Structure 1
Protein backbone atom coordinates (compact mmCIF):
# COMPACT_ATOMS: atom_id res chain seq x y z
CA UNK A 1 0.00 0.00 0.00
CA UNK A 2 0.94 3.61 -0.43
CA UNK A 3 0.17 6.11 2.32
CA UNK A 4 0.58 9.84 1.76
CA UNK A 5 0.48 11.75 5.00
CA UNK A 6 1.15 15.16 6.47
CA UNK A 7 1.58 15.95 10.14
CA UNK A 8 1.57 19.50 11.45
CA UNK A 9 2.07 20.65 15.01
CA UNK A 10 -0.66 22.63 16.71
CA UNK A 11 1.76 25.47 17.34
CA UNK A 12 4.23 27.04 14.94
CA UNK A 13 7.54 28.72 15.62
CA UNK A 14 7.80 32.50 15.97
CA UNK A 15 8.10 32.88 12.19
CA UNK A 16 5.08 30.65 11.55
CA UNK A 17 7.28 27.77 10.49
CA UNK A 18 6.68 24.14 11.41
CA UNK A 19 9.92 22.79 9.92
CA UNK A 20 11.43 21.55 13.20
CA UNK A 21 8.43 19.33 13.94
CA UNK A 22 8.21 18.17 10.32
CA UNK A 23 11.91 17.31 10.40
CA UNK A 24 11.33 15.16 13.49
CA UNK A 25 8.61 13.24 11.65
CA UNK A 26 10.72 12.82 8.49
CA UNK A 27 13.61 11.47 10.58
CA UNK A 28 11.28 8.71 11.77
CA UNK A 29 10.26 7.92 8.19
CA UNK A 30 13.86 7.78 6.98
CA UNK A 31 14.89 5.54 9.88
CA UNK A 32 12.05 3.12 9.07
CA UNK A 33 13.81 1.70 6.02
CA UNK A 34 10.55 1.73 4.04
CA UNK A 35 10.49 3.19 0.53
CA UNK A 36 9.40 6.81 0.85
CA UNK A 37 9.34 10.20 -0.81
CA UNK A 38 8.89 13.59 0.82
CA UNK A 39 7.76 16.68 -1.07
CA UNK A 40 6.66 20.14 0.00
CA UNK A 41 3.27 18.96 1.28
CA UNK A 42 3.29 15.20 1.99
CA UNK A 43 5.45 12.20 2.71
CA UNK A 44 4.50 9.00 0.91
CA UNK A 45 5.42 5.60 2.33
CA UNK A 46 5.16 2.18 0.73
CA UNK A 47 4.79 -1.09 2.60
CA UNK A 48 2.39 -3.42 4.32
CA UNK A 49 -0.52 -2.01 6.33
CA UNK A 50 0.86 -2.67 9.81
CA UNK A 51 4.39 -1.44 9.09
CA UNK A 52 3.25 1.73 7.32
CA UNK A 53 0.73 2.63 10.02
CA UNK A 54 3.34 2.02 12.73
CA UNK A 55 5.66 4.54 11.04
CA UNK A 56 2.83 7.08 10.77
CA UNK A 57 2.14 6.65 14.49
CA UNK A 58 5.81 7.05 15.43
CA UNK A 59 6.10 10.13 13.20
CA UNK A 60 3.01 11.61 14.83
CA UNK A 61 4.46 10.89 18.28
CA UNK A 62 7.65 12.71 17.23
CA UNK A 63 5.62 15.81 16.38
CA UNK A 64 3.65 15.53 19.62
CA UNK A 65 6.93 15.55 21.52
CA UNK A 66 7.36 19.13 20.26
CA UNK A 67 3.77 20.35 20.39
CA UNK A 68 0.77 19.62 22.61
CA UNK A 69 -1.38 19.07 19.53
CA UNK A 70 -0.95 17.69 16.01
CA UNK A 71 -3.01 17.53 12.85
CA UNK A 72 -2.70 14.43 10.65
CA UNK A 73 -3.90 14.17 7.05
CA UNK A 74 -3.66 10.70 5.50
CA UNK A 75 -4.56 9.21 2.14
CA UNK A 76 -4.02 5.54 1.30
CA UNK A 77 -3.91 3.53 -1.92
CA UNK A 78 -4.52 -0.05 -0.81
CA UNK A 79 -3.72 -2.49 -3.61
CA UNK A 80 -2.89 -5.97 -2.28
CA UNK A 81 -0.21 -7.83 -4.20
CA UNK A 82 1.38 -4.75 -5.76
CA UNK A 83 4.83 -3.48 -4.81
CA UNK A 84 7.12 -0.85 -6.27
CA UNK A 85 4.22 1.52 -6.77
CA UNK A 86 6.00 4.53 -5.29
CA UNK A 87 7.78 4.72 -8.65
CA UNK A 88 5.49 2.48 -10.71
CA UNK A 89 2.55 4.87 -10.68
CA UNK A 90 4.76 7.76 -11.79
CA UNK A 91 6.40 5.64 -14.53
CA UNK A 92 2.98 4.71 -15.97
CA UNK A 93 1.88 8.35 -15.88
CA UNK A 94 5.02 9.52 -17.68
CA UNK A 95 4.56 6.83 -20.37
CA UNK A 96 0.96 7.94 -20.88
CA UNK A 97 2.05 11.56 -21.22
CA UNK A 98 4.72 10.62 -23.76
CA UNK A 99 2.11 8.78 -25.81
CA UNK A 100 0.06 11.98 -25.98
CA UNK A 101 3.03 14.05 -27.19
Structure 2
Protein backbone atom coordinates (compact mmCIF):
# COMPACT_ATOMS: atom_id res chain seq x y z
CA UNK A 1 0.00 0.00 0.00
CA UNK A 2 0.94 3.61 -0.49
CA UNK A 3 -0.05 6.21 2.07
CA UNK A 4 0.47 9.91 1.48
CA UNK A 5 0.24 11.88 4.68
CA UNK A 6 0.82 15.31 6.08
CA UNK A 7 1.25 15.94 9.77
CA UNK A 8 1.84 19.34 11.32
CA UNK A 9 1.49 20.99 14.70
CA UNK A 10 -1.83 22.67 15.39
CA UNK A 11 0.00 25.93 16.07
CA UNK A 12 2.97 27.47 14.29
CA UNK A 13 6.15 28.73 15.89
CA UNK A 14 6.77 32.44 16.53
CA UNK A 15 7.85 32.96 12.91
CA UNK A 16 4.76 31.18 11.54
CA UNK A 17 6.80 28.14 10.57
CA UNK A 18 6.21 24.49 11.36
CA UNK A 19 9.43 23.18 9.79
CA UNK A 20 11.08 21.89 12.98
CA UNK A 21 8.11 19.69 13.86
CA UNK A 22 7.66 18.52 10.27
CA UNK A 23 11.38 17.75 10.02
CA UNK A 24 11.09 15.56 13.11
CA UNK A 25 8.23 13.64 11.49
CA UNK A 26 10.08 13.20 8.21
CA UNK A 27 13.15 11.96 10.08
CA UNK A 28 11.02 9.25 11.69
CA UNK A 29 9.85 8.14 8.24
CA UNK A 30 13.36 8.13 6.80
CA UNK A 31 14.66 6.16 9.76
CA UNK A 32 11.89 3.56 9.30
CA UNK A 33 13.57 1.93 6.32
CA UNK A 34 10.30 1.94 4.37
CA UNK A 35 10.37 3.30 0.82
CA UNK A 36 9.31 6.95 1.04
CA UNK A 37 9.28 10.25 -0.75
CA UNK A 38 8.67 13.75 0.62
CA UNK A 39 7.51 16.71 -1.44
CA UNK A 40 6.31 20.19 -0.50
CA UNK A 41 2.93 18.97 0.74
CA UNK A 42 3.05 15.26 1.63
CA UNK A 43 5.25 12.35 2.55
CA UNK A 44 4.37 9.06 0.85
CA UNK A 45 5.30 5.72 2.41
CA UNK A 46 5.09 2.25 0.87
CA UNK A 47 4.69 -0.96 2.84
CA UNK A 48 2.29 -3.27 4.59
CA UNK A 49 -0.68 -1.86 6.49
CA UNK A 50 0.64 -2.35 10.02
CA UNK A 51 4.16 -1.07 9.34
CA UNK A 52 2.99 2.00 7.42
CA UNK A 53 0.46 3.06 10.03
CA UNK A 54 2.89 2.38 12.88
CA UNK A 55 5.36 4.70 11.15
CA UNK A 56 2.70 7.39 10.69
CA UNK A 57 1.83 7.14 14.36
CA UNK A 58 5.50 7.57 15.34
CA UNK A 59 5.77 10.56 12.99
CA UNK A 60 2.68 12.10 14.57
CA UNK A 61 4.14 11.53 18.03
CA UNK A 62 7.29 13.35 16.87
CA UNK A 63 5.17 16.36 15.93
CA UNK A 64 3.33 16.19 19.26
CA UNK A 65 6.70 16.50 20.99
CA UNK A 66 6.77 20.04 19.52
CA UNK A 67 3.17 21.08 20.15
CA UNK A 68 0.16 20.02 22.20
CA UNK A 69 -1.95 19.44 19.07
CA UNK A 70 -1.38 17.95 15.61
CA UNK A 71 -3.24 17.89 12.32
CA UNK A 72 -3.01 14.68 10.24
CA UNK A 73 -4.20 14.21 6.64
CA UNK A 74 -4.04 10.75 4.98
CA UNK A 75 -4.66 9.37 1.51
CA UNK A 76 -4.12 5.65 0.85
CA UNK A 77 -3.85 3.45 -2.25
CA UNK A 78 -4.49 -0.07 -0.99
CA UNK A 79 -3.54 -2.61 -3.66
CA UNK A 80 -2.71 -6.00 -2.15
CA UNK A 81 0.07 -7.92 -3.85
CA UNK A 82 1.69 -4.90 -5.49
CA UNK A 83 5.09 -3.51 -4.49
CA UNK A 84 7.38 -0.90 -5.99
CA UNK A 85 4.46 1.41 -6.67
CA UNK A 86 6.12 4.48 -5.17
CA UNK A 87 8.01 4.63 -8.48
CA UNK A 88 5.88 2.30 -10.62
CA UNK A 89 2.86 4.59 -10.72
CA UNK A 90 5.02 7.51 -11.84
CA UNK A 91 6.78 5.43 -14.52
CA UNK A 92 3.43 4.37 -16.00
CA UNK A 93 2.21 7.96 -15.96
CA UNK A 94 5.31 9.17 -17.79
CA UNK A 95 4.96 6.37 -20.34
CA UNK A 96 1.35 7.41 -20.95
CA UNK A 97 2.38 11.04 -21.39
CA UNK A 98 5.11 10.10 -23.87
CA UNK A 99 2.57 8.06 -25.87
CA UNK A 100 0.33 11.13 -26.19
CA UNK A 101 3.09 13.56 -27.18
Corresponding residue for residue 32 of structure 1: 32
**Cα-Cα RMSD:** 0.4
Give the TM-score, by structure 1 length.
0.99
Give the TM-score, by structure 2 length.
0.99
Q: Which runs of 5+ in 2 are unaligned?
A: none
Q: Would you identify which runs of 4 or more consecutive aligned residues in structure 1 move more than 3 Å?
A: none
Q: 1:35-74 to 2 correspondence within 5 Å? A: 35-74=35-74
Q: Which runs of 5+ in 1 are unaligned?
A: none
Residues paired across the two proteins, number: 101
**CA-to-aligned-CA distance 1:11-35 (integer Å, 9 cap, x gap):** 1111111000000000100000000
